[in-house]
């Protein structure tokens, strides 16, 4: 049996009407946003660590910043200590 994926046509239609986006562009935006919010806490921590490290930040700054960003996620995870954040990145 085929799994049905929820349609986001109403949102895509709204974006096409209210912005300069073409339908294909609006579809990509919706899919990108959904993928962003589908990211697990662990994936977010690892991704942000890589991004901040690539930007020249050191671990002490990185983990403080990630800890400050986590509560502002769409679905905030439980508060994680700096040690827990380090364990996510380094195992």
pLDDT at 56 over 80: yes
Per the prediction, the chain carries an average pLDDT of 90
3-state secondary structure of 18: helix
Alpha-carbon distance of 66 to 49, in angstroms, equals: 8
pLDDT at residue 4, as a whole number: 47
Express each pLDDT in 4-48 by its tens digit.
455 789 999 999 999 999 999 999 999 999 888 888 999 999 999
Q: Which two tokens stand for residue 51?
A: 């991004």
């Amino acid at each position: 049996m085929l799994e049905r994926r929820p349609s986001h046509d109403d949102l895509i239609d709204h974006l096409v009407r209210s912005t300069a986006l073409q339908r294909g562009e609006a579809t990509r935006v919706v899919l990108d946003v959904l993928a962003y919010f589908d990211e697990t806490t662990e994936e977010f921590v690892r991704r942000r660590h890589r991004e901040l490290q690539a930007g020249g930040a050191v671990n002490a700054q990185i983990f403080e910043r990630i800890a400050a960003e986590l509560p502002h996620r769409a679905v905030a995870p439980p508060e994680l200590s700096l040690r827990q954040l380090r364990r996510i990145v380094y195992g």
